[in-house]
Structure 1
């Protein structure tokens, strides 16, 4: 006959198992819901007759929610969505230490990254918040870039906002060769749209008060700042940014 303590342990184990199953089911439901949202968005665009093919692009996502699910990043290469936004650090594989005191650089526009591992790391001076770090190699050296954090047992993973998990050349295969050539040369040319500009020179900062008809965006561009004025979504004026990066 089971003792009261054994019965209590069994009940506790069952509650934990139920919680895990519920969490997993909720994640699967959310993932499928997001996939349906992407399909519905494309259908609405077709029905509305949108002429910009970019609107029909619906990149796949991983929807990671903890350390284990974030390791999905190791299953395929990634491409950076917004260059010059995300700082990466030197990493020592032997000791599995992230050198938070040594910023190694910024991920570049649509830079291809092959992630080999995802680990937890704690930055100096912090004890309650742990960084989720994606490990990759560049020029035969190891680096780590934050893709989320954990605090109090709760995870916030933002890798889906950082990376494409499909080759952007395939996602935006409808772009002309001239546009792709400008992107690969890290140039913004008149007639390019904002997505194409981000692919070419990275993240941008729009001026306050910009409208859909006319918009001014400042691009740090890795230390070579540009300012682009868009008219009706197309670059009309491209010049060096006197305001700096």
Structure 2
């Protein structure tokens, strides 16, 4: 009969291996639990943190200025400007035409209205533009003409179209074409030297696009790129000027 005294016992080396394996599994499980607890804690801490304050938007001095808009809806609204002074914003976009108190003469276009040029409002009248007449303002069923004096020639009455009628409704472009307050005061931070160049309608290095538009007119051909970082050719009443802007400062004038 064979001796089977130890037939049911696990060899010592094998028992140690099992115990070591169980210990390793236990340690790994504890580590996994600890990592999970840490991740949950971190998520909760992050969630409880106050949201970071959004960075305050940065505005230039020009962007901080909001010229007044009056939103005229009829001729009566427009006539509230009678007797007041306005300054041209839409430089080079509007012609002045000889006028009488009741008529504007489209047949004899006069000079362009230049940037920041002052005009003294006399009245607003209605009339029709001839079919052949050029006008940047739609002709509609009829136009609204602004009658005014130029301070440089106060004895002569001029007119220019500033709105049109479509059925019973009027559309005005006064807000888009004029300053109701002196731009020399609104933008006094530009300095006297810059304003002297604008009023003399000269382009200079260092000008912004807005300053260049007031100096040379809004009729232009911009090249590729965002405003302030591109090359713009200004018509300048038939005497083209090319300006290249970087960070809204003219770096070349040709």
TM-score by length of 2: 0.70
Deviation at 1:122, TM superposition (A): 1.2
Q: 2:222 aligns with which of 183, 200, 207?
A: 207
Report which of the two has the higher share of helix: 1
What's the CA shift for 1:136?
0.8
SS at match of 2:79: helix
Q: Is 1:158 the counterpart of 2:173 in the alignment?
A: yes
Aligned residue pairs, count: 191
**Bigger Rg, which one:** 2
Aligned to 2:57: 48
Q: Distance in 2 between matches of 1:219 and 1:231?
A: 17
Give 1:1-245 correspondences, 5 Å limit: 47-50=56-59, 52-93=60-101, 96-125=102-131, 129-138=141-150, 139=153, 140-212=155-227, 214-239=229-254
- Partner residue, 2:17: none
Contact 1:205 1:217 in 2 (8 A): yes
CA distance in 2, matches of 1:222, 1:197: 14
Is the 2:140–2:164 contact (alpha carbons within 8 Å) kept by the matching residues of 1?
no
Q: TM-score, normalised on structure 1?
A: 0.72
Report if the CA contact (8 A) 1:204-1:217 is conserved. no
Q: Give distance in 2, aligned partners of 1:125 and 1:209.
A: 36
CA RMSD of superposed structures (Å): 2.1
Report the Cα distance in structure 2 between the residues aligned to 1:75 and 1:91, rounded to whole angstroms. 17
Q: Structure 1 runs of 4+ off > 6 angstroms?
A: none
Higher strand share: 1
* Structure 1: tracts of 5 or more residues without a match: 1-45, 240-245
Unaligned ranges ≥5, structure 2: 1-54, 133-138
